[in-house]
Amino acid sequence: SPCGFVISRADLRKQARQLENELDLKLVSFSKLCTSYSSTRDGRRDRYSSDTTPLLNGSSQDRMFETMAVEIEQLLGKLTGINDKMAEYTNSAGVPSLNAALMHTLQRHRDILQDYTHEFHKTKANFLAIRERENLLGSVRKDIESYKSGSGVNNRRTELFLKEHEHLRNSDRLIEETISIAMATKENMTSQRGMLKSIQSKMNTLANRFPAVNSLIQRINLRKRRDSLILGGIIGICTILLLLYAFH
């Protein structure tokens, strides 16, 4: 019945909003966790030369990350299901005006779901990239520590290992700076391209207008020439008549 349909639609929208609010809070906490993870690892790397604590310690941050990722994926799945149900109601709506309103509401919820999904995957990818990099650096450090603690330690080779590790750190920072510069350059070039397109459009408009202006000027010149000929003819006729009248 129409009343049952409205109630069901209202319930679905209420559930969608609740899930969206819960997802928003979860994603904020998820982002903060990843930021905290990155800051913690950066602090440990800065103390590398004087700190003997391993880079990776199986901290609760990793377990918390896995737990939150699963929770967010479940919420995204629930929200997707709610959107699918709303789509079914939208397709079954008989009144055109009601159908249009439902389509607008459904599209808004789909856009929100898409934004949340993109943000989740982006944050998750950044976290995994940081963890993978730390695993690699941690493995290198373990090898160095194992070599230093072994018998017959070669100071020169140890120094080379440390220099190589420092080189990796510097290369990592240089790559990050290069990526930032490239992104800024891309944005600048996009802005310049927009300006060039605008200038080209204006130039084309002016070029299209010039033929019309030239044509108008030519018509004015022709009319002035014609008027001059007519005026000269009238003056000549009047002069001849005056001469004939004077010598008659």
- Give domain status of residue 196, yes or no: no
- CB count within 10 Å of CB 8 equals 13
Mean pLDDT on 218-226 = 84
Percent of the chain with pLDDT over 70: 71
Give residue-wise pLDDT tens across range 15-57.
989 998 999 999 998 888 888 876 665 555 554 444 444 444 4
Domain limits at 82?
9-40+58-148
Dihedral sign for Cα atoms in the order 88, 91, 97, 102: positive
Instruction: Name the domain count of the chain.
Output: 1
Is 73 inside any structural domain? yes
Joined together, the tokens standing for residue 135 give 């695993």
Is residue 84 a part of any domain in this protein?
Answer: yes
Q: How far apart are CA 169 and CA 179, in angstroms?
A: 16
Which residue type, as a one-letter code, is found at position 102?
L
Q: For the whole model, what pTM was predicted?
A: 0.48
For every residue of 144-206, DSSP letters joined together read HHHHHHSSS--HHHHHHHHHHHHHHHHHHHHHHHHHHHHHHHHHHHHHHHHHHHHHHHHHHHH
In a domain, 181, yes or no: no
pLDDT of res. 40: 66
Q: Would 48 be classed as within a structural domain?
A: no
CATH number, domain containing residue 133:
1.10.132
The reply to whether 169 falls in a domain is no
Based on its alpha-carbon atoms, the radius of gyration of the chain, rounded to whole angstroms, reads: 39
Q: What percent of the chain has pLDDT over 90?
A: 11
CA distance 106 to 100: 10
DSSP 88: H
Q: What's residue 70's pLDDT? A: 92
